[in-house]
Amino acid sequence: MESQFKTIALIGKYQSQDVSDAVLKLAQFLRDHGRKVWIEQGTASSTGLSAAYPVSTYDEIGAGADLAIVLGGDGTMLNSARRLAEYTVPMVGINQGRLGFLTDLARDDALAGIGEILAGRYVAESRAMLDSEVVRGDQRVFHTLALNDVVVNKGELGRMIEFDVMINGEFVYTQRSDGMIVSTPTGSTAYALSSNGPILHPRVDGIALVPMCPHTLTARPITLPNDFVIDMMLKPPHDARVHFDGQTRFDARAGDLVRVTRSSQSIQLLHPENYSYFSMLREKLHWSASPRQL
């Protein structure tokens, strides 16, 4: 297992001095352990490491790296995951942000954790992704992937929007609300959680449909099988904004259809050997803590 990860790419949050220092330290650590180190193009520009290490694009990382290590917060991990999804390169996250649901190696323990992974002591976990498109008439006008969620919301409007929800082509209901969150198990601890959505274990083959401030209080979150097709049709005169992992957006018009399905692509996360999903939740969500400790 020692030779499994020979070429390792480092991807860091841009314009962060803490991350720049961490990337430099990790790159030297990996080189000292006989690994070939690549620095992602934007990271190299941000850290000034382009002269010391080979610089690679995301496509080159996906095609040639054995492992991608992401230094930053969940946002950096989400962006990297979408860009590497079509490849099979596994990913490890080092938390340089706040909560870090996806970046579970603490910065102070990062080198020891990476050393364990290089030695083959890790847990591999597949995470499902969503495929989403916006259809206008008979034409697809937008298409992308999401690891966390697809969110249809009212955008800058100071009122609710109205849309029809169809599942597998069957009409379910017309909803008036601030919007809808369509979430993977990974995204169930993100925006969906703040809207009272269910927490889905990553091994659950499901998609959560979570209304945002619905006008009808009986409109509750629904967990669907992950092979279902979810359609949301905007009813005139309501335009809406569609967000993908909170990073990419598309302004949809009245009459547009937003379609969300389980993607054929997924990502593989590597965790420390002692990783526990429930321990992570307990730490990040402050379960079992008294109010005075929060």
In tens, the pLDDT along 154-196 reads: 988 788 999 999 999 999 999 999 999 999 999 999 999 999 9
pLDDT of residue 264: 97
Residue with tokens 């193009």: 41
The mean predicted confidence, pLDDT, of the chain is 93
Residue 85 confidence (pLDDT) above 50: yes
pLDDT of residue 1: 42
Secondary structure letter of residue 279 according to DSSP? H
91-95 and 105-106: which strand pairing?
parallel
Active-site residue, 74 included? yes
Please tell me the least confidently modeled range out of 83-87, 102-106, 197-201, 230-234: 102-106
pLDDT of residue 294: 55
Please tell me the least confidently modeled range out of 40-49, 68-77, 129-138, 282-291: 282-291
What are the chain's domains? 7-120 (3.40.50.10330), 129-264 (2.60.200.30)
pLDDT digits (tens, 9 = 90+) for 48-71: 888 889 999 999 999 999 999 999
Give the Cα separation of 140 and 256 in Å (integer): 10
pTM of the model: 0.93
pLDDT of residue 32: 96
* CA 56 vs CA 34, 39, 181: distances in Å: 19, 6, 34
pLDDT digits (tens, 9 = 90+) for 242-265: 999 999 999 999 999 999 999 999
Give the Cα separation of 124 and 144 in Å (integer): 25
Of the listed 59, 74, 239, 245, which one is catalytic? Answer: 74
Residue 227 confidence (pLDDT) above 50: yes
Give the DSSP letter string of 22-80.
HHHHHHHHHHHTT-EEEEEHHHHHHHT-TTTS-EE-HHHHHHH-SEEEEEE-HHHHHHH
170-177 and 179-183: which strand pairing?
unpaired
